Structure 1
Amino acid sequence: MIDWSRVDELVEEIGAEDFGEVVELFLDEVENSIGVYAEGADDAVIAEEQMHFLKGAALNLGFEALAQLCLKGEKAAASGRVGVVSPDELRTTYEGSRDVFQAELPARLAA
């Protein structure tokens, strides 16, 4: 679900002291983008744009399961198929990944 090696790389790149700000920004942006997707999921252009953004954000912070789901939705929307990834499925995957991330991150940063 989480690519912890990517998280480790990011912490090394930006430093542990700034990592919390990056995580906070990521969570805010993902919440916003999921909302935009939910409102425009039946529009292939909006769906593709939001899936692409979410995929990139998820990969950056190691949310592997979310990134894979977004890739599926992005490809479908690019070919004109909407509704392949429902807003509920997207939110559930994000929330599950977020919960695992937040639960395990403190111990990983302390190591």
Structure 2
Amino acid sequence: MIDWSRIKILRDEIGADDIDEVVEIFLEEVEETIADLPNASSSEDFERGYHALKGSALNLGFSAFSALCQQGETAAAAGQTDVVSIAQLDECYTASKASFLEGYSSLAKAG
């Protein structure tokens, strides 16, 4: 569900002191984007939303969530906006976030 090697690489790239801020911004942006998806008025809006979520998720190692976003982006590009439901997306994000926060806490303690 979470690509911990990606998190370690990111932490090494930006530093242990700055990664907490990156995580906080990521979580806020993802939650805002998911909340905005029901307001999408076209398949292009859905595609852009899924694309943004996918990129952010890949950057922070949310592999399962990113894969679901990729599925939604691909479907939306084909005009199929109902292949991935927003509820399904939110459920995957919530589970990924819980897994991430649990493991991230241990990772932070380990240094």
Q: TM-score higher than 0.5 here?
A: yes
Q: Are residue 26 (structure 1) and residue 26 (structure 2) matched? A: yes
Moved more, 3-12 or 29-38: 29-38
Q: Which runs of 4+ in 1 moved over 4 A?
A: none
Structure 2 unaligned blocks of 5 or more: none
Structure 1 unaligned blocks of 5 or more: none
Query: TM-score, normalization: structure 2?
Result: 0.95
- Tell me which residue corresponds to 1:81: 80
Two-structure CA RMSD over aligned residues (Å): 0.9
1:32-91 deviation per Cα after TM superposition (whole angstroms, max 9, x unaligned): 100111222x62011000000000000000000000000000000001111111110010
Aligned positions, number? 110
Of all paired residues, the percent bearing the same amino acid is: 45
**Residues 1-111 of structure 1 aligned to structure 2 (within 5 Å):** 1-40=1-40, 43-111=42-110
Alignment-mate amino acid for residue 104 of structure 2 = L
SS at match of 1:84: coil
C-alpha distance in 1, partners of 2:48/2:36?
10
Alignment-mate amino acid for residue 63 of structure 1 = F
